[in-house]
Chains A and B, each alone.
Chain A
Amino acid sequence: MNRINETFARLQREGRKALITFITAGDPSLDQTPALVTAMAANGADIIELGVPFSDPLADGPTIQAASMRSIHLGTTLRDIIAMVGEIRSRCPVPLVLMSYYNPILVYGIDNFVADAVVAGVNGVIIPDLPPEEGEHLRREAEARELALIQLVSPTSTPERMAKLCRLSTGFVYYVMVTGITGARRELPPAVAESLQQLKSLTDTPIAAGFGISTPAQAAEVGQYADGVIVGSALVKIVAEHGGELDLPERLGAFVHELRLGLDGGVRVGGD
């Protein structure tokens, strides 16, 4: 069983929600990424997404764009990131998901990418610019090697399309809460609860929601309706602001801890 599925199954038994955190791999440097991953896992992140930097990240807001550029300027490649995942795996069991635009994977070679990623210990992939219609080859390979291929569902997805995406998604379904790009939002869109409930009626696959969650309170709010919440830009911002400081892992860990408390507290408030 894929580690992502195991994690959601365990959390469900415990009556808790998944905290999924994102940072861009190679920011502030690829050497530091393992320590940041370990710190997030130790402070309550259940699943960690590692962003693969791309020159043209058209689904991302300014925060992740800038992180991507910093990483590219240091020469970070998908190959380096996969190698680094191998290193993380030797000391930390947290499920790891690569979030990459399609072109770096295409250039790497689909078969080789899936094989190398799985051997290194990658558990899932999210490709924001690869709709299932264009991703049949990758899906076949991923299925054969039990690499989760996580599909994104958006507020503009039609009901038929939602059903299709839920059916094809493995690991979890990624619900994009806003029509827009990644980044912090002051307020969450009003229809989130309704959309998530609709989505839940379509599938037994766990649903995690992201795009716009940046505070423990927002995590708690969304956690009432989703099986997991995804936080990215808020963490990437901490890396951007404190990238040169020795206590970066502790700072990042402390914020993940706050998110964890918010999410667990929120569930208690809404539960029972």
Chain B
Amino acid sequence: MNKPDERGHFGPYGGRYVPETLIAALDELEAAYDYHRRQPEFQQQLNELLADYCGRPTSLYRARRLEAELGIGKLYLKREDLAHTGAHKINNTMGQVLLAGRMGKKRIIAETGAGQHGVATATAAALFGFQCDVYMGEKDMVRQQMNVFRMELLGARVIPVSSGSRTLKDATNEAIRDWVTNVETTHYIIGSVVGPHPYPRMVRDFQAVIGVETKAQLQEREGRLPDVLVACVGGGSNAIGMFFPFLADPVEMLGIEAAGEGIDSGRHSAPLGYGSPGVLHGCMSYLLQDDAGQVQEAHSISAGLDYPGVGPEHSYLKDQKRVVYDSVTDDEALEAFHLLARVEGIIPALESAHALAGLKKHADSLAGRLVVVNLSGRGDKDVETVAALERGKS
């Protein structure tokens, strides 16, 4: 699994499709990352932060009632929802903010969809005293108000983005424009395994702690590898973080995209299932686009999955048939959201609820098997959205 190559390619995907102004910054970032990740002092500081500040390792919890409900052999949940700030996003922002400091940057910018990455970035910036600006689509600011307030409490400035779909895609455009303009003083913390090289690799490496821990924890509990791993896929950072350490092992993997209002409605966020290769935000990957190459708006109840692209490594893993990708609708995700709350006393993020709905959809093939689902985030941020939706329906 020697991917990506030295220019950031995962087969035909990935690479660096950016304005010339950013090339030097990407070279600098790549060199800094390659140097510091090999330094014991860097790894030690990161590991201490992950342990003492973020609460790692997160637990691997056997969800006995859910496993009975779905008829799955044995089901474990990797509890990323218990990490500081409530999602896996903090794993990446801790790593990148340490790097930004070593590169002498003074200011951090980020894009955010659901707000989880924005909160994780604002948290890391607060901890290390960086100025922090987070770009967020206006539509997402409405549906994730609590996270907007959290970012502000943490000292970040949330900059509303009113162009295009007013969601994650356009927030990312604005963050890149900011970076092009302020590249000499600013580090851009991309929140997923997307963007130009070296981001997909670097973010994957920072998130791989999820799979590394899972492997060790399951070994201790069950004395073996899992049969199947399941994770939701928007940009795909929680999924790749779980999958990557198992890629060379005989383990099946299932990535769940958001089918939104249904694939046939055209209003979905499932580029791996129903998109085609294209270039967006600096990398080649599967993409929702029309015949003329215009990027299409994505749709999902989950702001964190509402993105027309996906990480290039997922595109590669799809073509290689190493990972199976499927999708579930908003309604299926909502049902799973309720199910986990009711039978396990855990309210999942709507993103993670897609992975749980995927379990249900594939329950027949999971009977008698050892399954781990990455519960990537907690659902407090989504409670209002779900309540409003259900008030509207009744």
Using A72-B294, A156-B23 as known contacts, say yes or no to A56 and B183 having CB atoms under 8 A apart.
no
* Interface locus among A31-39, A124-132, A257-265: A124-132
Query: Does B280 contact A154, Cβ atoms closer than 8 Å?
Result: no
| Residue A239 interfacial (CB < 8 Å) | no
A162 closest partner in B (C-beta): B20
Query: Does B19 contact A154, Cβ atoms closer than 8 Å?
Result: yes
Query: Which residues on B sit within 8 Å (CB–CB) of A57?
Result: 173
| Residue B107 interfacial (CB < 8 Å) | no
Query: Does A106 contact B177, Cβ atoms closer than 8 Å?
Result: no
Contact string, A153-164, partner B, CB cutoff 8 A, digits 1/0? 111111001000
Task: Output the least CB separation between B132 and chain A (Å).
Answer: 20
Interface residues, chain A, CB within 8 Å of chain B? 54-59, 61, 65, 69, 72, 77-79, 101-108, 128-131, 133-134, 151-158, 161, 165, 176, 179-181
Task: Output the least CB separation between A177 and chain B (Å).
Answer: 11
Using A104-B292, A129-B282 as known contacts, say yes or no to A165 and B163 having CB atoms under 8 A apart.
no
Can you give 13 A-B contacts (C-beta < 8 A)? A56-B280, A59-B180, A69-B164, A101-B279, A103-B278, A104-B292, A105-B293, A106-B293, A107-B293, A131-B17, A176-B20, A179-B21, A181-B181
A78 to B292, CA, bound (A): 7
Query: Does B292 contact A134, Cβ atoms closer than 8 Å?
Result: no
Contact string, B262-298, partner A, CB cutoff 8 A, digits 1/0? 0000000000000011111110000101011111000
Contact string, B146-181, partner A, CB cutoff 8 A, digits 1/0? 000000000000000001100001100100110011
Query: Which residues on A sit within 8 Å (CB–CB) of B49?
Result: none
Task: Output the least CB separation between A51 and chain B (Å).
Answer: 14
Query: Which residues on A sit within 8 Å (CB–CB) of B276?
Result: 107
A105 closest partner in B (C-beta): B293
Q: A128-B19, A129-B279, A154-B19 are in contact. List 20 more A-B contacts (CB 8 A).
A: A56-B170, A56-B295, A58-B176, A58-B180, A58-B281, A61-B177, A69-B163, A72-B294, A77-B292, A103-B279, A103-B293, A107-B276, A107-B292, A107-B293, A130-B17, A131-B23, A133-B16, A156-B20, A157-B20, A161-B24
Interface residues, chain B, CB within 8 Å of chain A? 7, 15-25, 163-164, 169-170, 173, 176-177, 180-184, 276-282, 287, 289, 291-295
Query: Which residues on A sit within 8 Å (CB–CB) of B17?
Result: 102, 129-131, 134
User: What total count of A-B pairs have CB within 8 Å?
Assistant: 114
Query: Does B21 contact A156, Cβ atoms closer than 8 Å?
Result: yes
Query: Does B180 contact A179, Cβ atoms closer than 8 Å?
Result: yes
Q: Which 8 residue pairs of A and B lie closest in terms of their CB atoms, listed nearest first?
A: A107-B293, A104-B293, A77-B292, A180-B181, A154-B21, A55-B294, A156-B24, A103-B293
Query: Does A106 contact B278, Cβ atoms closer than 8 Å?
Result: yes
Query: Does A103 contact B280, Cβ atoms closer than 8 Å?
Result: yes
Query: Which residues on B sit within 8 Å (CB–CB) of A152?
Result: 19-20
A66 closest partner in B (C-beta): B163
A215 to B16, CA, bound (A): 34
A53 closest partner in B (C-beta): B294
Query: Which residues on A sit within 8 Å (CB–CB) of B292?
Result: 77-79, 104, 107
A101 to B278, CA, bound (A): 11
Query: Does B23 contact A157, Cβ atoms closer than 8 Å?
Result: yes
Query: Does A154 contact B20, Cβ atoms closer than 8 Å?
Result: yes
Query: Which residues on A sit within 8 Å (CB–CB) of B281?
Result: 56, 58
Using A128-B19, A155-B21, A179-B184 as known contacts, say yes or no to A102 and B173 having CB atoms under 8 A apart.
no
A55 to B278, CA, bound (A): 13
Query: Does B183 contact A131, Cβ atoms closer than 8 Å?
Result: no
Query: Which residues on A sit within 8 Å (CB–CB) of B182?
Result: 179
A55 to B182, CA, bound (A): 23
Query: Does A165 contact B20, Cβ atoms closer than 8 Å?
Result: yes
Query: Does B24 contact A158, Cβ atoms closer than 8 Å?
Result: yes
Query: Which residues on B sit within 8 Å (CB–CB) of A181?
Result: 177, 180-181
A161 closest partner in B (C-beta): B23
